[in-house]
Chains A and B, each alone.
Chain A
């Protein structure tokens, strides 16, 4: 590859970059929201149903755990393709921003759910036992003890998931998902416009950095004393 000429940046189609950035942010925001909405209960369910835990259901746990592992072991690209029928059913299209969100969410839920399970396991057993000794019911334990005590860890898990989702959104360019990844593939890779590639990668990097900093700041704010 020849040397990169900075003046080429002037030829970049900036409005299109702008649209792609917005698309990426939309995909990220919406899929992160759904991932948390479904992944958090999944994580709590995994945690409380595990053997020896608050509502141990070893068989249910084994089944859920297996499904989570299956989804996590599938390469995201495969998931993108396998899920096309489901995506069509749910959002009516399998391409573009809307089409990308379903596989993004399906891919990220088990990832986030497992992180949540692990974070909850770090909550001091003594504190849970103390709340049981005070007569706490299961929902009270979950909402007044587990989740608040695990909050810094949960925010950390959400941050890791958001960063992973940025990577997934880039990959969804493969199925014409739109966004920065799509742009990088269409111009940078297929048409050899290196400058577009560089700009999109730089923007993705900024996004990841921003997410991580925001997550870290939130964790710092809610760390306990």
Chain B
């Protein structure tokens, strides 16, 4: 669906040259939700703005399907953009228009519909995002979550095949965030719409995304399926972004080891084993007794999974034999001795 190749973009700021994007490449499959995560200033917004060319990259190409966006003349690009929805952190609604007027706006831009057809489409969209009762309100009379629903309805108006979300939930409280994420997941399923979203919040990635790229200083430092990235993070930036989720706490291992002076195991559960008494079973078979140090059990999208860090108090078998034994139960075990 999307193929981004070797994108670079520099900004000059107070005489210094900043590489906002440094040779970024990635691919997004049709129908998936693709997350881009990184700290503030990592270059996420610049990257997503390059996907509809609101920002022109210095070099590199963006392909949507068979079409190379970076090669399109301005007029054709404007036409193509009508079918790339974009949702913003601060909603960016027209204050001068009502809710219905805002959703109608992209239809007016595109042309080709009669006023009655536009009205019908607006009603349909407001129904979809659950705002049918707020049609005639002004944006200033809406809550943040409602404003973002208008933003989403507007972005969907011209039947886009791609939806870009720039920190769509970062200005919202946690509950509202969950409801907007649920809406995006719904839309993705119902319309089979490809979504690219950027965020600094790993929870958003965990709840919503299939694949993720981690950005730092304009570079993609890690990418892969969300399960892999959460359970086996490779890069320090990824681990620190994961810290608050309880996953991937590799950095803490040394501290734990020093404090308790026993070998540590990192156990990773994905799917069914997460819900079974694996530790108990292995314990009875091998005399393994452990000291639970930290961990998390959770869901990534809809897959139950978890990660435990345990200290080995006693074991009848040699430590190197443990991974094999756990693997039989479908659990990944790493010995951190």
Q: Contact: B96 with A129, CB < 8 Å? A: no
Q: Contact: A149 with B95, CB < 8 Å? A: yes
The distance in angstroms between the C-alpha atoms of A135 and B160, with both chains bound, is 12
Q: Contact: B141 with A137, CB < 8 Å? A: no
Which residues of B come within 8 Å of A, CB atoms?
A: 52, 54, 78-82, 84, 86, 88, 90, 92-97, 105-106, 108-110, 137-141, 154, 158, 164
The distance in angstroms between the C-alpha atoms of A13 and B300, with both chains bound, is 89
Q: How far is the CB of B91 from chain A (nearest CB, A)?
A: 8
- Please tell me the size bucket of the interface on A: 20 to 34
**Segment of A18-26, A69-77, A140-148, A193-201 engaged in the interface with chain B:** A140-148
With most chain B CB atoms within 10 A of its CB, the pick from A131, A137, A144, A224 is A224
Q: Contact: B82 with A135, CB < 8 Å? A: yes
- Identify 17 residue pairs between A and B in the complex whose beta-carbon atoms are under 8 Å apart, listed by A's number: A126-B88, A126-B92, A129-B88, A131-B109, A133-B86, A134-B106, A135-B79, A135-B81, A135-B110, A136-B78, A140-B109, A144-B105, A148-B96, A149-B96, A224-B140, A225-B137, A225-B138
Task: Say yes or no for A127: interface residue by CB 8 A criterion.
Answer: yes
Task: Say yes or no for A132: interface residue by CB 8 A criterion.
Answer: yes
The distance in angstroms between the C-alpha atoms of A131 and B104, with both chains bound, is 12
The distance in angstroms between the C-alpha atoms of A126 and B54, with both chains bound, is 12
Task: Say yes or no for A124: interface residue by CB 8 A criterion.
Answer: yes
In the bound complex, residues from chain B placing their C-beta under 8 Å from that of A129 are 54, 88, 92
A133 is contacted by which of B84, B95, B108, B110 (Cβ under 8 Å)?
B84
In the bound complex, residues from chain A placing their C-beta under 8 Å from that of B90 are 126
The distance in angstroms between the C-alpha atoms of A133 and B79, with both chains bound, is 10
In the bound complex, residues from chain B placing their C-beta under 8 Å from that of A140 are 109
The distance in angstroms between the C-alpha atoms of A140 and B78, with both chains bound, is 12
Given contacts A129-B54, A131-B109, contact A137 B78 (CB under 8 A): yes
Q: How far is the CB of B7 from chain A (nearest CB, A)?
A: 18
The distance in angstroms between the C-alpha atoms of A140 and B106, with both chains bound, is 11
Q: Which residue of A lies closest to B77 (CB)?
A: A135
In the bound complex, residues from chain B placing their C-beta under 8 Å from that of A224 are 95-96, 138-140
Interface string of A127-171 (1 = CB under 8 A from B): 101111111110010001100110100000000000000000000
Q: Contact: B88 with A130, CB < 8 Å? A: yes
Q: How far is the CB of B215 from chain A (nearest CB, A)?
A: 21
Q: Which residue of B lies closest to A225 (CB)?
A: B138
Q: Which residue of B lies closest to A124 (CB)?
A: B92
9 closest Cβ pairs, A-B complex: A225-B138, A135-B81, A130-B92, A135-B82, A126-B92, A133-B86, A148-B96, A225-B140, A224-B95
Interface string of A186-198 (1 = CB under 8 A from B): 0000000000000
In the bound complex, residues from chain A placing their C-beta under 8 Å from that of B137 are 225
Q: Which residue of B lies closest to A125 (CB)?
A: B92
Q: Contact: A133 with B94, CB < 8 Å? A: no
Q: Contact: A134 with B82, CB < 8 Å? A: yes
The distance in angstroms between the C-alpha atoms of A144 and B94, with both chains bound, is 10
The distance in angstroms between the C-alpha atoms of A225 and B108, with both chains bound, is 23
With most chain A CB atoms within 10 A of its CB, the pick from B79, B84, B94, B110 is B94
Q: How far is the CB of A128 from chain B (nearest CB, A)?
A: 9
In the bound complex, residues from chain B placing their C-beta under 8 Å from that of A134 are 81-82, 86, 105-106, 109, 154, 158
Q: How far is the CB of B232 from chain A (nearest CB, A)?
A: 36
| 8 extra interface residue pairs, beta carbon distance < 8 Å, beyond A136-B78, A144-B105 | A132-B81, A134-B105, A135-B78, A144-B109, A145-B94, A151-B96, A225-B95, A225-B141
In the bound complex, residues from chain B placing their C-beta under 8 Å from that of A131 are 105, 109
The distance in angstroms between the C-alpha atoms of A225 and B140, with both chains bound, is 6
The distance in angstroms between the C-alpha atoms of A68 and B305, with both chains bound, is 67
Q: How far is the CB of B98 from chain A (nearest CB, A)?
A: 9
Q: How far is the CB of A107 from chain B (nearest CB, A)?
A: 31
